Amino acid sequence: MTVHKGRGFAAINYPIGMNLGGDPSQALVHSNPDGKFTVALSAIDLGQGMKSVTRQIAAETLGVPVEDVYVDTADSDTGPHDMGSFASRGTHRMGNAVIRASEEARQVMLEAAAEELEVDAGDLVTDGKGNIHVRGAASRSITTMAAAQAAQFRQGRTIAGRGIFLIPLSEVDPETGEMSPVTTFAHAAMLVTVEVDDETGEVAVTDMQSAYEVGRALNPKLVEQQLRGGAWMGMSHAAWETTEPYYPTRDHRPEDFNTYIMPGPGDLAPHHISILERPAADGPYGGKGPGEMCANPVLPAVVNAVYDAVGVRIDDLPVTPEKVLRGIQAIGGAKPRQAL
Amino acid sequence: MNDMTSEGPMVEFRKDLFADERDDNLNEVGKPTRRQDILGHVTGRSPFFDDHLFNGLLHMRCARSPHHHARIRRIDTSAAEKMPGVVRVLTGRDVPVNLNTLLSLLDFGLDDEPLLSETKVAYIGEPVAAVIAETEAQARAAASAVHVEWEVLPHVLDVEEAIKPGAPAVLDIYPNNKFVYHGKYDHQKLRYGDVDAAFRGVDHVVEGRYQMSPIEQAPIETCGAIAAPEQNDRYVCYTSTQALFFSLGTAAKMLKIPSSRLHFIGGTVGGGFGGKVDSIHEPLAILGTMLTGRPVKYAWDRAEEMQVGAPRGAERWYITDGVMANGRIVARKFIGYFDAGAYTRLSSYAIIKGVGHLPGPYTIPNVYADVFCVYTNRTPATAMRGFGITGVDFAIEAHMDKIAETVGMNPIELRILNAYRDGDMKAHRREAKNCALIECAQVVAEKAGVTLSPEFKAATSMTGGGGARAALPAFTATDEDGRVEGFAATSYAKKSGASSAPVPGAAPASRPARVQASAQSPARPAAQPASPPSAAPVHTADPADKKPARSGAMRFSSLSGFRRR
């Protein structure tokens, strides 16, 4: 038996948000009397960090520290309409809605501060640490708490904002497929190294080198978590998982994790990630959605690497030891290429 | 920000690339701030739907089809009703509006799927009755005591078998087991240029067939909902949904109840990956509460999550590429089949998304696709991470390597050669912008020690695009293949099929079936029909027959006013 090493490459782009638009998100932002803000949404945090990324976006836009913002989601009595957390749309669509709501609330906050400082609101800036001051004159300042208290109890202003982001629905030409699918695309490239055992047909992914272009990494740790987990899912899809290993027959029908096989921690390959940021014109601070595309390049990269290792092309996912062995038999033994 | 290991950086931020398009001096954005909810998660205190265990909570379990395809002669719940702890057994008769399609909220597709099936089942695991009992074990025991008289029907499991003449009809409302697009065709078309003409002038034709495997979303938390009576004649529903208002709107429609009487709470979910948008649990749990007056939980166990819960569907793709000796791809043709399983769910939508994505991130002057949403007797498919894209990207990128081998090119250089760049025209007839495929490929090549020739090392997404590459094809070959009659156009369709975006140089279009980009277009091949069978508006004589009344249910599209008639 011999273990053959091979490398495979793939590159992809990914449309961000529900195809064709028509998928609005809304956000409401308001201040408590002490200048702390609540963001009300109906977005879903699936573990991807929806609450956290919208919290950072709100803090950035309001010009207050992130600790002064709390995101409350999803209660249909208080959170306005949102289409949901899918299609990599959360950061892009909801992030934009939060920006708009926060801008409206910030404007009232600055007007309240301006009245207290007896200056023009247009001359005020925030320092991101809880202070509002005259541009170029940091000593002429007021805290966001004092501005909020003045607004609430002296001036009778509501520091609040509403935001919606909607890309209107694009229609599709039945004859040509002409359409405006989405406005923003993320990108990725991936090179994987595999080891193929020509006696057992087993394939191990031993290394992953990737580049992901995400518009802007709004929170670099959350982005890394998405990319790492997503690439793992892609590797699993390529070489481990399926509900129907002999599609189209339905005989296998796994019902638990003993018969539905996924890789464990010991099967994970080192994944060297490079993150590129080319801001999207209509993304929140340029951000796209890294959530889905991270898995996609891994699948073809793995089959391309298997071919590089033993000369067997597997065009039916997943790559199973049985398919690899049958493929090796069909070509009369492994034919290592190592062309990449 | 590099975490160095002996094998090199595990994460690096290439701030040097696209630096002049970015302001990196922000206060909060770009910081690795700890997540808002992490303390609750790591201490086990974050409230998920299943943490709302009311006093007197009842449990729901479904009786399900053991057959791929069968007619229901009779459902006998009498034995189940007498079982210990059983409070109520629901069947389809108890569901106020027992027919729905998820995207009816977007006015897309016909209602096709019951919550509890009454006359027919089309996949193993399809629910026919829901038992509500004091404990989960009692509900489970009683569900197995529901007696159904089945008349087993022939079934079909493969997409290409399902569309052959004489195949068993999975769904009666769509012809030949194919979803109907725009009230007009049994597939979604993409036509850009003329692939057949282009194939005649190429050095190589590279063909491939690719099969995407179905997989399970496999969230740690299985799908579920807990409903309870709330004050003032309302119902609260704690749910694992990925789409709060999709689920609320679906429940309002199927239960015929105004949204003001529903209070949905969610937002903290133990993984979704696309498998928690189907909105099945919420209406059933609320219905149980409405009929018993008590809190009801309906959740899948792991076996149901894997076998009843909709997986990522299988896809089959055929790709034919026309390639020049220098590696330029000049024509790419796709035939795609999505296996929707027994009901539409979201597969119809994924196909439009997939077609808008073709031919992948490459600038190819002639592109053709026919993509079919096919019904088979398997568990309905639904969304999963990369929905509509992952399968065809697998096919495209495996195919790219075959092309590289055919023309004897480095596979990374082949991608850069064909990559889309800023200003290029894409096959869906919109200009590319904000591209970064080339840079991603270059970064990976550099890291992995793959030497690129100077030409490909120097390439950028920002230059070399546009110009002639921005032009629409001089001529696009169109056809009326797959025409169906008797369906009304709904969302995602133009009323007449005419182009809404102006096509440069186009003559005023009185016919929908042709797109001509310039006056000097070559004449059409003789095979082209002289005129479409019918240029009249799509036949709408019997939409009422095809489309059950919606009883004033919530519709996002109409509410937002963007459905164009």
Is pLDDT at B308 greater than 50 in this prediction? yes
E strands within B119-160? Answer: 120-121, 127-133, 147-152
Q: Which of residues B57 and B507 earns the better pLDDT score?
A: B57
Q: All domains of chain B, ordered by start, with CATH?
A: 58-153+219-307 (3.90.1170.50), 188-215+311-477+533-564 (3.30.365.10)
Q: Which of residues B522 and B227 earns the better pLDDT score?
A: B227
Of B11, B369, B401, the CB nearest to A307: B401
The predicted pLDDT at position A181 comes to 86
Contact B518, B476 (CB under 8 A): no
How far, in whole angstroms, is CA B369 from its chain's centroid? 17
The whole-chain average pLDDT of chain B stands at 88
Band (pLDDT 50/70/90 cuts) for residue B492 is: low
Q: What pairs with residue B491 in β-bridges? A: none
Closest alpha carbon within chain B to A285: B29
Is pLDDT at B4 greater than 80 in this prediction? no
Chain B neighbors of A212, CB-CB under 8 A: 440
Q: What tokens were used for B106?
A: 């977007």
Band (pLDDT 50/70/90 cuts) for residue A259 is: very high
Q: Does B232 touch chain A (CB under 8 A)?
A: no
* A254-281 CB burial, b ≥16 within 10 A, e <16: beeeeebbbbeeeeebebbbbbbbbbbe
Burial class (CB in 10 A: 0-12, 13-18, 19+), B243: buried
3-class state of residue B339 by DSSP: strand
By DSSP bridging, strand A131-134 and strand A124-126 are antiparallel
B244-255 vs B281-292: helix crossing angle, rounded to 10: 50
Contact A234, A296 (CB under 8 A): yes
Q: What tokens were used for B374?
A: 């096919």
Band (pLDDT 50/70/90 cuts) for residue B287 is: very high
The predicted pLDDT at position A18 comes to 79
Q: Does B429 touch chain A (CB under 8 A)?
A: yes
Answer yes or no: do A255 and B306 touch at CB < 8 A. Answer: yes
Q: What is the DSSP track for B26-73? A: -SSTTS-PPPTTHHHHHTT-S--GGG---TT-EEEEEEE--SSSEEEE
Contact B108, B492 (CB under 8 A): yes
Band (pLDDT 50/70/90 cuts) for residue A234 is: very high
3-class state of residue B428 by DSSP: coil
pLDDT above 70 as % of chain B: 85
Answer yes or no: do A189 and B437 touch at CB < 8 A. Answer: yes
The predicted pLDDT at position A71 comes to 98
Is pLDDT at B518 greater than 90 in this prediction? no
Mean pLDDT in residue range B422-439: 97
Is pLDDT at A23 greater than 50 in this prediction? yes
Answer yes or no: do A51 and B241 touch at CB < 8 A. Answer: no
The model's pTM is 0.92
| Min distance A139 CA to chain B CA atoms (Å) | 20
Answer yes or no: do B241 and A84 touch at CB < 8 A. Answer: yes
Interface of B with A in 150-169 (CB under 8 A): 157-159, 161
> Distance (Å, rounded) from C-alpha B414 to C-alpha B361?
12
3-class state of residue B436 by DSSP: coil
Lowest-pLDDT choice from A122-126, A191-195, B24-28, B171-175: B171-175
Is pLDDT at B272 greater than 90 in this prediction? yes
Mean pLDDT in residue range A41-47: 96
ipTM associated with this complex: 0.97
The predicted pLDDT at position A249 comes to 94
How far, in whole angstroms, is CA A59 from its chain's centroid? 19
The whole-chain average pLDDT of chain A stands at 96
| Min distance A279 CA to chain B CA atoms (Å) | 7
The predicted pLDDT at position B9 comes to 74
Band (pLDDT 50/70/90 cuts) for residue B457 is: very high
Is pLDDT at B553 greater than 70 in this prediction? no
Chain A neighbors of B388, CB-CB under 8 A: 19
Q: What tokens were used for A196?
A: 């193929």
Q: Does B376 touch chain A (CB under 8 A)?
A: yes
Chain B neighbors of A77, CB-CB under 8 A: 263
The predicted pLDDT at position A186 comes to 97
Chain A neighbors of B234, CB-CB under 8 A: none
pLDDT above 90 as % of chain B: 83
Q: What tokens were used for A317?
A: 């996912």
Phi, psi for B90 (deg, rounded to 5): -100, 140
Mean pLDDT in residue range A280-299: 95
Is pLDDT at A146 greater than 50 in this prediction? yes
- Mutate which: A66, A81, A172, vs B, most B CBs within 10 A: A172
Q: How do residues B105-117 score in pLDDT, each as one tens digit?
A: 888 899 999 999 9
Mean pLDDT in residue range A137-150: 97
Band (pLDDT 50/70/90 cuts) for residue B521 is: very low
Q: What tokens were used for A248?
A: 């189209």
The predicted pLDDT at position A220 comes to 97
Is pLDDT at B536 greater than 70 in this prediction? no
Mean pLDDT in residue range B111-132: 98
Q: Does B476 touch chain A (CB under 8 A)?
A: yes
Band (pLDDT 50/70/90 cuts) for residue A22 is: confident
Answer yes or no: do B215 and A237 touch at CB < 8 A. Answer: yes
> Which of B329, B327, B330, B334 is closest to B357 using CA atoms?
B334
| Min distance A100 CA to chain B CA atoms (Å) | 16
Q: How do residues B134-177 score in pLDDT, each as one tens digit?
A: 999 999 999 999 999 999 999 999 999 999 999 999 998 998 99
Q: How do residues A191-222 score in pLDDT, each as one tens digit?
A: 999 999 999 999 999 999 999 999 999 999 99
The predicted pLDDT at position B554 comes to 58
Answer yes or no: do B12 and A274 touch at CB < 8 A. Answer: yes
By DSSP bridging, strand A25-31 and strand A203-213 are unpaired
Answer yes or no: do B478 and A316 touch at CB < 8 A. Answer: no
Chain B neighbors of A210, CB-CB under 8 A: 444
Is pLDDT at B530 greater than 90 in this prediction? no
> Distance (Å, rounded) from C-alpha A243 to C-alpha B382?
14
> Which of A18, A20, A14 is closest to A168 using CA atoms?
A20
